[in-house]
Chain A
Amino acid sequence: MVMEYNPKIPTLRPYIDPDNQGFWDGVREHRLVIQKCKDCGLVIHRPRPMCPRCLSTEREWTPSMGKGVIYAYVNVIYQNAGYPGIKAPYSVVVVEITEGVRILANLYDIEPEGVRIGTPVEICFDDIADDLTLPKFKRLNS
């Protein structure tokens, strides 16, 4: 657990709407699910109203293995360049998962100075408040 939250400042809540609700429902239940087009099978993230390939609005949530590699990352060093409710330094990563989409999240067990592009990681879930669970990534098989 490498991130430190300031309990006095609430973490910003995800804005949940009918398009992305399935994703966040999954996160709350500690499952990673990804939007999939029922018609052509395209796997899509971020969630959206229709399939950008075939324009079908028939969508489903498909379970993901949650394994991937770090594709890009930021280390927020200066507190004012980040969110005041999370103590800097902290990392934000984009992980490319094996299903082919990219997920933005934080890291669970890698300090900012240890983050590298290409590091294999897997999903985990952090219940950071009674009403808020966030997806995070940890080293694969750690």
Chain B
Amino acid sequence: MAIDSIKDKAAIVGIGVVDFSTDIGRTEWYTACQAIKLAAEEAGVNIDDIDGMVKSVDDGPDPTYTGKGLGIDNLLYHSENHWGTSAMMNAVHAVAGGLCNYCVYYQTAHRASGPEKCISDFLVAREFRDDSLDMVRYDYFSPFGLIGEPGYVAMMYRRYMHETGIKPEQLGWVPIVASENAARNTNAIFFDKSITIDDYMQSKLIADPIRELDCAPKVDGSIAIVITTPERAKALKQEPVIINSVASGYALEGQNYTSYTRDVITDLPEMENMAKELYRVGGMGPKDIKVAMLDDTFAPYVPMQLEALGFCGKGEAPAFIEGGDKIRVGGQLPVNPDGGEIGQGRFITTRIVEAVRQIRGTSTNQVANTDTVLVASGAGGPADGMICRKE
């Protein structure tokens, strides 16, 4: 079990978000540097004072490019990590452990207009393009035409339907509420207006039972986040958002989206393990959380996360999401008030941005008196999460 030393030891002090697009027309190098510059300016941190960089693995240029682009002459700390909050863990540890003073975490990915565009509408491209990545999948899935994440998730979701009885008419409320929230968020480009359950039921089945509307669309974007200690944050421009806790979770026979060999394939044991540690370190529980930023890259993971993170009991999630009232702003547990990845495109770090805005009180879909937000990532595989709180 981990020690408690990271509790409240780091803070988010600046965010930089490049406007999302499906055809951004600039290089990833450009938008990565742009996001870092915006984040530093927002924080009131001089670019020369940035001495740590953490990059999201697989996405965007590494610090040899961003450092060069921004004229940074030394980094005391640089690293990469998966997922959004996983990479945030590196930054938290780096500033809390005294490896650097002002650390930037950034994710830059032009999935809509970049090289992946020409290959497929969905995210099968990476497996074709980079044969060094996750080679183990080739022997087991690819010869059978199970290639691409909608298919991977569909296998689990079929079994989930079988075991829980969840119906498309219930799951549909995840994208419906996402569309409502996205329509209020000027930064979310995928929904001008909310959809109805009829729209959802007519959504194309792509890998039955997964529908097109169950999947976060590809998008071009770039986000940077500045992290420092709460002490240093006092001298900066923004009200700091304290990182109460960060944690990772792992579980037996796990594999990204495809943990088909373990006894039960329809829950998220990695997320349960992560949540236990997250709450323990932070000294919080699910009832203390005002807003949940959940991994909605694929809609079926939202009800599963509600159970894994303790927001409702086992087997209660399908009823919890049905009708949307409990997960809307004003409901028992507002989920992804920014529209999530379904509304903004597949981009993990959007969840951290919305957590910051909710705590600052500046969201386009503000939940009243938000003082705690839980951010979860890595549903369907090794999981990670973060609890942010008001100072």
Interface of A toward B, CB cutoff 8 Å: 11-17, 20, 24, 45-46, 52, 71-78, 80-83, 85-86, 89-90, 92, 94, 101-102, 104-106, 112, 117, 132, 134
Contact = CB atoms under 8 A, between A and B. Distances in A.
Given A78-B207, A78-B212, A80-B121, 8 more contacts: A12-B138, A15-B139, A46-B261, A73-B155, A78-B204, A80-B124, A86-B145, A117-B159
Contacts of B122: 80-81
Contacts, number: 115
Contacts of B151: 74, 76, 81-82, 92
A82 B210 CA distance: 13
A94 B208 CA distance: 15
22 contacts: A14-B138, A20-B139, A72-B265, A75-B207, A75-B208, A76-B146, A76-B206, A77-B204, A77-B206, A78-B205, A78-B207, A78-B212, A80-B121, A82-B147, A82-B151, A92-B144, A92-B145, A94-B260, A104-B146, A105-B144, A117-B159, A134-B144
Contacts of A134: 143-144
B303 to A, nearest CB: 17
A16 B138 CA distance: 9
A13 B139 CA distance: 7
Contact of B206 (A45, A46, A78, A104): A78
A74 B208 contact: yes
Contacts of B367: none
Contacts of A14: 138-140, 142-143
A104 B143 CA distance: 10
B65 interface: no
Given A78-B204, A82-B147, A12 B155 contact: no
Interface in B103-136: 120-122, 124, 135-136
Interface of B: 120-122, 124, 135-136, 138-148, 150-151, 154-156, 158-159, 162, 204-208, 210, 212, 252, 260-261, 265
A83 B208 contact: no
A82 B139 contact: no
A102 B158 contact: no
A132 to B, nearest CB: 8
Contacts of B159: 71-72, 117
Contacts of A72: 155-156, 158-159, 162, 260, 265
Given A15-B139, A80-B120, A117-B162, A74 B148 contact: no
Contacts of B120: 80
A81 B158 contact: no
Closest 6 CB pairs of A and B: A15-B138, A78-B206, A75-B208, A12-B142, A72-B159, A83-B145
Nearest to A82: B145
A46 B155 contact: no
A101 B204 CA distance: 33
Nearest to A5: B145
B265 to A, nearest CB: 7
A77 B142 contact: no
Contacts of B143: 11-14, 132, 134
Contacts of A16: 139
A76 B206 CA distance: 6
A45 B121 CA distance: 32
A5 to B, nearest CB: 9
A74 B146 contact: yes
A101 B158 CA distance: 19
Contact of B147 (A20, A83, A104, A112): A83
Nearest to A21: B139
Contacts of B148: 81-82
A17 B252 CA distance: 23
A78 B142 CA distance: 16
A102 B255 CA distance: 15
A45 to B, nearest CB: 7
Nearest to B123: A81
Contacts of A75: 205, 207-208
A80 B147 CA distance: 10
Nearest to B131: A15
A17 B162 CA distance: 35
A112 B158 CA distance: 13
B145 A106 contact: yes
Given A73-B155, A78-B204, A102-B261, A15 B147 contact: no
Contacts of A52: 252
Contacts of A45: 261
A77 B357 CA distance: 39
Contacts of B139: 14-17, 20, 24, 46
Contacts of A132: 143
A45 B139 CA distance: 12
Contact of B158 (A15, A73, A83, A106): A73
